[in-house]
């Protein structure tokens, strides 16, 4: 099980020392976690993810290039066509040896119509399931993960939305259930903060230890 820590702002280098698989940077200006600084040096094995919400493709590509992003997380209502166009544009301006993964987010309230995924199957690399809330993301609430029992795809997905230290037992149960078959990564954000964008290193350490014990 991979781990993504999102909403990097004030202490990304400290979080990077914990060696998560992914670090997320929010490029949606209204967010309290909006990242506008210089990218610190991050070990190359940690993938840098840019999080965008219904924005111009030029802006996305500019950030990809400026910060050498490895993946983009599309956290709005981006269409499958938008995802395809982004991938094509990226391929046309980047050396083919570099990759850009597209993570398309879908927000879940009580139930979810998985038929919507059909259009995205060919044009993104991962899905991410978050909780529907007032904001596009970072709401800090979990959704009922049993919805994923009906997940119809083989595509790996990130499990997100309000995951915190108190979620460990639920995670353990979920990850040993058939519903988690294609769960590729756990994504954490606001539940590990003492202020927006300032991650609690001690809490993350505790979480990583627990996640590792579930993984083994
Ligand atoms: O965190 C934000 O401010 C944010 C703003 C706009 C889009 C996405 C955002 N965060 C993403 O939301 C999920 C869930 O976060 P949480 O655990 O509920 O706080 C996470 O993937 C973040 O990348």
Ligand 1: residue whose CA is nearest its atom 16: 138
CA distance 138 to 110: 18
Indicate if ligand 1 lies below 6 Å from the C-beta of 130. Answer: yes
- Residue 102 buriedness (CB in 10 A; 0-12 / 13-18 / 19+): buried
pLDDT at res. 203: 97
As given in the structure block, the two tokens for residue 79 are 């269409």
Compute, in degrees rounded to 10, the torsion defined by CA atoms 9, 14, 17, 23. -10
Q: Which of 144, 124, 138, 176 is nearest to 33 (CA)?
A: 138
The answer to whether the CB of 140 is under 6 A from ligand 1 is yes
Which class would CATH give 2-215? alpha beta
What pLDDT is stored for residue 99 in this prediction? 84
Supply the pLDDT for residue 94. Answer: 60
Q: What ipTM describes this predicted complex?
A: 0.98
How is the chain split into domains, by residue range?
Answer: 2-215
pLDDT (tens digit, 0 to 9) for every residue of the chain, 216 residues total?
Answer: 999 999 999 999 999 999 999 999 999 999 999 999 899 999 999 999 999 999 999 999 999 999 999 999 999 999 999 999 998 888 776 655 578 999 999 999 988 999 999 999 999 999 999 999 999 999 999 999 999 999 999 999 999 999 999 999 999 999 999 989 999 999 999 999 999 999 999 999 999 999 998 865
- Contact call for residues 117 and 123 (beta carbons, < 8 A): no
pTM score of the predicted model: 0.95
Query: How confident is the model at residue 124, as a pLDDT?
Result: 96
* DSSP classification of residue 15: H
Question: Which mutation among 2, 5, 6 tests ligand 1's pocket best, with the greatest number of atoms within 8 A of CB?
Answer: 6
What distance in Å separates the CA atoms of residue 177 and residue 166, rounded to the nearest whole number?
19
What span, in angstroms and rounded, lies between the C-alpha atoms of 189 and 168? 15
Residue 48's pLDDT is: 97
pLDDT at position 92 is 76
How many whole angstroms from 141 Cα to the centroid of ligand 1?
Answer: 10
């Amino acid at each position: 099980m991979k781990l993504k820590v999102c909403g990097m702002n004030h202490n990304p280098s400290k979080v990077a020392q914990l060696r998560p698989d992914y670090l997320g940077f929010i490029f949606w200006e209204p967010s309290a976690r909006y990242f506008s600084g210089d990218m610190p040096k991050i070990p190359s094995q940690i993938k840098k993810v840019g999080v965008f919400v219904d924005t111009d493709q030029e802006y996305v590509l500019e950030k990809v290039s400026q910060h050498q992003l490895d993946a983009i997380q599309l956290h709005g209502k981006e269409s499958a066509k938008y995802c395809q166009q982004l991938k094509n544009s990226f391929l046309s301006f980047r050396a083919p040896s570099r990759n850009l993964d597209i993570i398309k987010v879908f927000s879940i309230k009580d139930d979810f119509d998985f038929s919507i995924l059909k259009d995205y199957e060919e044009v993104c690399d991962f899905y991410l399931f978050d909780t529907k809330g007032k904001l596009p993301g970072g709401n800090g609430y979990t959704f009922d993960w049993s919805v994923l029992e009906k997940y119809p795809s083989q595509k790996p997905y990130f499990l997100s939305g309000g995951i915190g230290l108190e979620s460990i037992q639920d995670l353990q149960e979920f990850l040993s259930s058939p519903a988690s078959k294609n769960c590729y990564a756990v994504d954490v954000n606001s539940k590990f903060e003492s202020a927006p964008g300032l991650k609690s290193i001690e809490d993350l350490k505790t979480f990583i230890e627990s996640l590792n014990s579930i993984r083994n």
